[in-house]
Structure 1
């Protein structure tokens, strides 16, 4: 109609008779209006065709060999135009692209909340980040949401279900063998053939099959005298990994730093958290 030279205030009068079904119902419900953009927005929202949906469809717009390349490109251009609405000006286009990238760069918990506020400018994103950060800085450390940047510290490679006592690094003379309970050597160098419980603590080490967070594991080692258990990274959900780490000295004398995580271990019919 713009090409035909029709006055914009008359676009609705020309458009309404051409509509049918739900689109015509929406247009009629708006009454006598000359706001073409308002009518267009109402119709698109009625069919759930909004800018966010167009953005997602554009980002997932993948070509396959059964599609005509020209048609595929045309659909992609149409989607990106519906998302960015270039006729509203370059500034809005820049804002939309910038906001998308900024949101993608936020930790998961923060990103979900900031996105739910529908920020339209980078400045608004910054304000929402500050509001979120201020609100959560008042929470105790253990109650704060875990922030996931899509990366985490990897667990050192260990045998499935291996365990270790969480102690400070010790000199060789202070190391105690968990087999014979004598100081000065580690288990692999122990001459004792029998495994004994420690005399000063009711410490027992069990071996066998079990489950870690519902995953079947052929070999689990549970040390009742240890306050923590080391598990393979693949059994731990990313959301359960904390930022805090703890030093671990193993029975063979090796030492490493491990991130803490909450897991459920099932062994011999008992659950350990």
Structure 2
């Protein structure tokens, strides 16, 4: 009698363990979209690209691209967890598995491709300078001896220091919004990053008339969606979603909605895998 009771009790324990294991394994599946949540890395402080609004919602071109891709992967908008991913943290966030993919003005470079994989590109931008409205910087070399601001982990500032204005005094902060404050207060002479990001800042109501784009194309920046190294399956699915976004008109609609107010002249939608050097 006691043996039968012990055997029955063991069977119950095994059944409960198996049930718990089965439930736990379905919580998240970033490849197929079959799970309950997907975590996407974006910027929180880039108007026009990735911005956390005062009401807690998110706006911008990168956000719209990420939503479209997530939907094609099988996730509804309320199943997305947005995570702020600053420039210096993007590779480590993917490597640690903090996010499933990143859409955060993430330029595809050989150095980054050694650490993570990319889908795309989905936008071709160009490095430029944001200066004060009364500024007279007309070419990259004018930055020699001047104070240049960018964010830690950005390729833009390094590009200037290495090839354009080696004598520029580089200041790096954690976020572009800090650079913008420094530019407004004359702590720095110019802010450098991609022209679409700069256009978003310049078009904000509180800054209208205070800043201007220098109008320089200092580099080509091919925006890609970053994923964990080796996840070829997810890269393929995202690439397919990006192609659909262009073909059904959603890409052009998102461009006009997010960059139109700043009179930003965007390049045509790039072809998947076509990296402009």
TM-score (norm 1): 0.23
Structure with bigger gyration radius: 1
Higher strand proportion: 2
Higher relative contact order (CA 8 A, sep 6+): 2
